[in-house]
Chains A and B, each alone.
Chain A
Amino acid sequence: MSSHQIDILFLASLVGVTCALPGVFLILRRVALMSDAISHAILLGIVLAFFMVKSLSSPLLIVGAVLTGVLTVALTELLINTRKLKKDAAIGLVFPLLFSIGVILLSRFAGDVHLDTQCVLFGEIAFAPFNRLMIGNMDLGPQATWVVGGVLLINVTFISLFYKELKITTFDAGLAASLGFFPALINYIFTALVSVTAVGAFESVGSILVVALMIAPPAAAYLLTDRLFHMLLISAALGILSALGGYFMAQGLDASIAGSMATFSGIIFFLVFIFAPERGLMAKLIVRKYKKWDFASETLAVHLLQAEQAHAEENERVVKHMNEHMLWSDDYTSEAIVKGLKEGVLKKDGNKLSLTSYGREKAKNILSKE
């Protein structure tokens, strides 16, 4: 593996972690789509700042991006507060306008320079290692790595310093306000953090794919744990996994690295969605099935108990006629009997069913509950 590849892999993993951390709070606060709005809108800030300083590596670009990110959230909230539009419509109006102005400025006035609409969408992670940070004659590695690393440092610092505040404003904004935690202020600082993250990752993965890296790994983590701290750790790990998997997928297909990273994060989410213990689709289906047959064998046991107590005719217990007594279909009845026998609730004497002592206890318990 060449040093060029290692540079890209390291940068991609950094981007994965950096995006995943604020993403956790985005999905817990149910504002996942704010990341979409912010990552689009910051383009305007980046373009305006770029026109002012004529350089892509100036810190002023980050300032511009953060300002437009906060502006987006403020404008959206302003629109919602007029009560003339619902939240989703307000989001859907503000960012397309800001993004459009950004794209128009970019296409009209910056067509020939380094920043163009393609790089806005794709990012240029493959070229990132060519742009080195040099101090004197010392090569300190790709510049983008330092930028993203800096953003990661900001994210980690903010989240660990304000962990308690973030946690309480996320889960119970009302309580947070009554305890004097200023949820609105935390919200704006958090918005700024998302903007910084989006602009940091922007050069590498483009403005739309940032959204995938911010939302998909935390959403997968959300299906795996109930603890905030674990969710942060799992998200970061899945972020790295998305980056690495995406890189090799791109190598294999000879396609866009950023696009592959987004695709891979989606694949990971989907796998977790299906196979997660407890909350996955499979686990849920299994539990549902288990409960269904549990219920069926219990119902059979109760029926037999009642037949026993009423000294009903023997044919009430004949296996063949069970479906008629229970008003069940044939398949369902035989499956229920098999389950009941397996669990030791029922026993079979010739062609008749009867309760085991365990089954009798169980049926009595169920009836006494009613």
Chain B
Amino acid sequence: MDIGYLIEFFSNYTVRVVMCGAMILGITAGTLGSFALLRKQSLLGDAISHASLPGVCLAFLLTQSKSPLVLLLGAGISGWIGTLVISLVTENSRIKKDTALGIVLSVFFGFGLVLLTIVQKLPTATKAGLDKFLFGNAATLLREDVWTMGILSGIIFILLLAYWKEFKLIVFDKDYAKSMGLNVVFLDLLLNTLIVIAIVIGLQTVGVILMSAMLVAPAAAARQWTDRLGIMVVLSSLFGAISGVAGSITSSLMLKLPTGPTIVVYLSMFVIISLLFAPHRGMLWDVLRSYRHKKQLQRTTVLKNLLLFSEISTDPYHAHDVAALTAIGRGPLQKTMIGLSKKGYVRQSVPNKWALTEKGLNAAQKLTKEIEEQVNVITSD
């Protein structure tokens, strides 16, 4: 693949349409996904997206039209009915939420497949192409589709900005929001509706089966980098957009590569990298932090032990054998001693004999005092 081919590829009309669509999808799904993740509704997206399949087929059966607006409207309505059924069942019976989600997800999807097989047996010529809603196919996106996606996501962003503060409040503290006199039921419903629209936007590109990952994964990755909602939303939509574009282009370039799964693989890479390397929350930082704590602990232990020795001998700066320190201490002592001597707390008079310096003595005394105070606080509670 040479550069000329690449330039030609990116100036290609279809490719630009596909990239636009994937970007809109990534940004919208990433944004709404942040709210879904923080509201612990990650799997609601899974149920809604599966539940939207019968809507797509019914809309086609009723109107015989493949206009994206009609199909996506059908998808939205049936996804929305899915969320209503979930709350109806969980609020009026002892069925738990996960069971209700599972029932809606699989039964609606099953009904969708029934309708899909009926559609496929229709004699009309326009029937083809509905099955792209299963795994998504970015390459078949048309300009009309991208316009529809753009308008829908425009509506989402206007509502999101208008209700930003309220949404933030119901995500983090619903009870407080209620006590402030906010209409929590309405806001809940509105936010769920926006999530439904965000899912609908991605159906043609990613497909009903994997659309939920489009919501969860960028948000889960972004969550590792920040504790602020605004930054999380921006990062999440960025991750979503990059994965969406990368996935759509890869799948358009290669034969027999469905778009939805390809995007999910890219998204998962973001998640894995974020889980490992994100500052403060990443696992690498956990390892570093625990290494540092361990080193710190070893040093303070040695200092305390040296102080103990110096208190029982006449000369506080008397040197002691490493073996004696090892006997009451623990851990790789030699390394710890070198570390301490670099800080000027201890010095080595003859090989393997270590003594406190004046600085070290002061530090050790201060440390012991601090620890005693802490112990007093704890025991006096």
Interface residues of A (CB under 8 A from B): 27, 30-33, 35-36, 40, 79, 82, 84-86, 88-89, 91-93, 96-97, 99-101, 103-104, 107-108, 111, 117-118, 121-122, 208-209, 211-212, 214-216, 219, 222-223, 249-250, 253-256, 258-263, 265-266, 269, 273, 279-281, 284
Contact = CB atoms under 8 A, between A and B. Distances in A.
A261 B50 CA distance: 16
B268 A97 contact: yes
Contact of A260 (B101, B102, B114, B209): B114
Contact of A117 (B109, B113, B254, B258): B258
**Most chain A beta carbons < 10 A, residue from B92, B117, B224, B283:** B117
Contact of B103 (A103, A219, A260): A219
A209 B260 contact: no
A104 B257 contact: yes
Contacts of A32: 96, 98-99, 101-102
B360 interface: no
Nearest to B282: A84
Nearest to A30: B96
Given A253-B118, A262-B111, A93 B268 contact: yes
Contacts of B210: 96, 99-100
**Most chain A beta carbons < 10 A, residue from B92, B102, B112:** B102
A266 B110 contact: yes
A33 B101 contact: yes
B98 A33 contact: yes
B117 A31 contact: no
**Most chain A beta carbons < 10 A, residue from B110, B209, B275:** B110
Contacts of B257: 104, 107-108
Interface in B46-100: 46, 50, 89, 92-96, 98-99
Contacts of B37: 86, 89
Nearest to A40: B209
6 contacts: A84-B275, A93-B216, A104-B257, A258-B113, A259-B110, A262-B106
A85 B98 CA distance: 17
Contact of A36 (B95, B106, B281): B106
Interface string B112-145: 1111111001000000000100110000000000
Sort A-B residue pairs by CB-CB distance and give the 8 closest, nearest first: A262-B110, A266-B107, A259-B113, A100-B261, A212-B106, A96-B213, A211-B106, A259-B114
Interface residues of B, number: 61
B98 A30 contact: yes
Contacts of B99: 27, 30, 32, 215, 219, 222
A263 B213 contact: no
B21 interface: no
A111 B256 contact: yes
Contacts of A254: 117-118, 121
B352 interface: no
Contacts of A249: 114
B264 interface: yes
B40 interface: yes
Contacts of A255: 113-115, 117-118
A101 B43 contact: no
A36 B46 contact: yes
A115 to B, nearest CB: 14
A93 B217 CA distance: 6
B93 A104 contact: no
Interface in B185-222: 209-210, 212-213, 216-217, 219-220
Given A30-B98, A101-B261, A223-B93, A91 B118 contact: no
A212 B95 contact: no
Contact of A266 (B50, B101, B103, B262): B103
**Most chain A beta carbons < 10 A, residue from B106, B112, B116:** B106
Contacts of B238: none
Interface in B205-255: 209-210, 212-213, 216-217, 219-220, 223-224, 254
B135 A103 contact: yes
A20 B265 CA distance: 33
Given A88-B42, A117-B258, A212 B92 contact: no
Nearest to A35: B102
B163 to A, nearest CB: 24
Given A209-B106, A259-B110, A263-B114, 13 more contacts: A30-B96, A30-B98, A92-B216, A93-B216, A96-B212, A96-B217, A100-B213, A249-B114, A253-B118, A259-B111, A263-B107, A266-B108, A266-B110
A293 B217 CA distance: 52
A219 B95 contact: yes
